[in-house]
Amino acid sequence: MSATLSQVRARFPGLERVHGGNPVAYFDGPGGTQVPAEVAEAMHGYLLGHNANTHWAYPTSEETDDILARARGAMADFLACDPGEVAFGNNMTTLTFHLSRALGARWGAGDEVVVTDLDHEANVAPWLRLAEERGVTIRRVAVNLEACELDWASFESALSNRTKLVAIGAASNAVGTVNDVARATAAAHAVGALCFVDAVHFAPHGLIDVRAIGCDFLACSPYKFYGPHSGVLYARHGLVNDLDVPRLDPAPNAGGERIETGTQNHEGIAGAAAAVDFLASLGDGVQRRQRIASAHAMLHERAHGLFARLWNGVGAIPGVTRYGPPPGRPRTPTIAFTVRGRTSVEVARALAAQGVFVTHGDFYASTIVAQLGHALDGLVRAGCACYTSADEVERLIEGVAAIAR
């Protein structure tokens, strides 16, 4: 890596926090990462130096137009698409509901949508609403619970010539499983269906290439990859201008702007672009896309080394049960586990008292957590981020061991 771990950590002011007499170890990245100083500075700089609405003939408005255009370019480099295929929104959930209504306006009884039991509810509920509102049939793909991986036989059987869309997650935010979304997209297209990919959990951990995947739509959330709370939607050329989206007639009517409604969160968009540039700064190469790819490759290698230690260390503790694929299988560096005799919130509170922050519950992936038998008490979840250290991993393992005793 072009920057050492200590240099990376120095860019995150949040890491200076102390709790319970200990420096905080943030393992809550799957729910939202810390942000580097340059992201906050980009948002601060926009609000204090360029704040205006768009498309007017005075400097701050023109500067805002330029900042938003450059942000679309940054996200296009992040996703390997064209800037005109990028739309911004409040969050992935809102964008997905917006898209589902636009697509579903042309669907009805006899049409089918495929969802999976491994997914976050944000990639299930928007499509389930079409069953209520449009009479669309929902087909569900089962999960191999022992491996926490999709049952591909179930996936294939869910497809038919009535399928209009396949909605699939690139990675499970609950148990870390990485899905073969290119395979899912090819299968969807083979029956004449579209494919929507939820890449929220995948985006911090793997390089996204929408052209290589072949998907028609893909959504992600900058606050999962060191940016502010906002959402991003990729919509393939040829589909954007055909969507039946609710919009105001005077508003832009082409490209990603066509999907956006009203005045956007300009400071959040500026921060999202800064998050992409932060990631690019960790890699090598001439073009920003090259640097992003380089950074992901190096961060992947480092994070999975930490994860292997975390998986094995937690797994060696009596009374602890782990969920998800083991190291070596397609997965993110996110571990989910339970401690016998303790609820997930009890474990999280005990770790927090030691300055180790983890998340608990069902993480809005309620179906898979319930199928694993933990609908009531939930799971404990910990994820490695670009700033995670080996010492922090040891603190987490030791903390879990103490709780299990």
What does CATH list as the number for 5-34+289-404?
3.90.1150.10
Residues recorded for the chain: 405
pLDDT, mean of residues 237-248: 89
Condensed to tens digits (0 to 9), the pLDDT of residues 338-390 reads 999 999 999 999 999 999 999 999 999 999 999 999 999 999 999 999 999 99
* β partners of residue 141: 116
How do residues 272-289 score in pLDDT, each as one tens digit?
999 999 999 999 999 999
Q: Sheet containing 194-198: give its strands across.
A: 86-89, 231-235, 217-220, 194-198, 163-169, 112-116, 137-141
Structure confidence by residue, pLDDT tens digits, 155-181 = 999 999 999 999 999 999 999 999 999
Q: Provide the 3-class DSSP secondary structure of residue 166.
A: strand
What angle in degrees, to the nearest 10, is found between the helix axes of 59-79 and 288-315?
60
Residue 174 and residue 133: Cα distance in Å, rounded? 29
Average pLDDT, the chain: 96
**pLDDT tens digits for range 314-334:** 999 999 999 999 999 999 999
pLDDT tier, 1 (very low <50, low <70, confident <90, very high otherwise): very low
Percent of all residues in the chain with a pLDDT value above 70, rounded to a whole number: 100
256 in Cβ contact with 233 (< 8 Å): yes
Residues 6+ apart with CB under 8 A from 316: none
DSSP H or E stretch at residue 150: strand 149-150
pLDDT in tens, 179-215: 999 999 999 999 999 999 999 999 999 999 999 999 9
CB burial of residue 281 (10 Å; 0-12, 13-18, 19+): middle
pLDDT at residue 241, rounded to an integer:
87
Q: Give the C-alpha distances (Å, rounded to integers) separating 376 from 31, 144, 177, 345, 369.
A: 20, 21, 22, 11, 9
Q: What's the rounded mean pLDDT across residues 214-235?
A: 98
What residues does CATH 3.90.1150.10 cover in the chain? Answer: 5-34+289-404
The number of C-alpha atoms within 13 Å of 199 and in the hemisphere containing its C-beta is 29
Which positions ≥6 away from 293 have C-beta within 8 Å? 207, 283, 285
* CB-count exposure of residue 59 (10 Å: 0-12, 13-18, 19+): exposed
pLDDT, residue 246, reads 87
Give dist(CA 321, CA 30) in Å, integer.
Answer: 19
Mean pLDDT of 107-116: 97
* Amino acid letter, residue 369: V
* Residue carrying the six token digits 């319930």: 370
- Strands 22-23 and 18-19 turn out to be antiparallel
The region of weakest confidence among 88-92, 208-212, 242-246, 264-268 is: 242-246
Pick the CATH number of 41-280 from 3.40.190.10, 2.40.50.140, 3.40.640.10, 3.40.50.300: 3.40.640.10
All CATH 3.40.640.10 domain ranges of the chain, comma separated, are 41-280
Measured at the alpha carbon of residue 35, what is the angle toward residues 18 and 60, in degrees to the nearest 5?
135
Sequence letter at residue 296 = H
Q: pLDDT > 90: what percent of the chain?
A: 94
pLDDT at 3 > cutoff 90: no
**Would you state the pLDDT for residue 2?**
64
The whole-number average pLDDT for the span 50-63 is 97
> What's the token pair of residue 156?
């294939």
